[in-house]
Amino acid sequence: MNVEQNLIKRIEKLEQARKVGKQRLSDEIRVQQATADTFTWVTQHTKTYNEHWFKEGRPCPEEPFPPYEYFRHVFDTMDLGRIIWFEKSRDMMLSWACVAYLLLRAMKTPYYGVLVQTQKDKKVVQLIDYAKHLYRNSDPIIRAAHPLAKPL
């Protein structure tokens, strides 16, 4: 191999490394934007499921979290870091909103402990399964940026 060929190979390697670095930076920016707040992540970058999808005439059970404006306020209130009591009803999806909020915090913060208390064991299992569903259905670049310590 002559000097010219060697130089061309080195330039090609450098160009490839530059492209990889540029893609990584682009992915990091996309992940930061997608997970900047819970409302953006849960309404645009993961999917929830609707247990009543067939009855409601929806095409499939998986869909983005509904972008109701009150969720933005719920998540903003949670960001205050205080103890919060929500008066809730079954149809407001507040339990699922809390799970989404806590899951995103756990994904983004190393060693972030989450404790979920419910009235019945069956409900807490349902909420843990829901957290797994949200994670599984997150954009692949988000999962790659926030890998699990152990498999689901």
Is the residue at 23 inside a domain? no
Structural domain including 79 reads: 35-145
Domain contains 116? yes
Tally of structural domains, the chain: 1
- The verdict on residue 68 lying in a domain is yes
Per-residue burial over 22-61, b if 16 or more Cβ lie within 10 Å, else e, is eeeeeeeeebeebbeebbbbbbebbbbeeeeeeeeeeeee
Q: Residue 109 domain-assigned? A: yes
Domain annotation covers residue 88: yes
pLDDT in tens, 54-106: 998 989 999 999 999 999 999 999 999 877 788 776 778 899 999 999 999 99
pTM of the model as a whole: 0.81
Q: Where are the alpha helices (DSSP H) in 3-152?
A: 3-34, 38-44, 69-79, 94-108, 121-136, 140-145
Task: Find how far residue 46's CA is from the centre of its chain.
Answer: 6
Q: Tens of pLDDT along 40-67?
A: 999 999 999 888 889 989 899 999 999 9
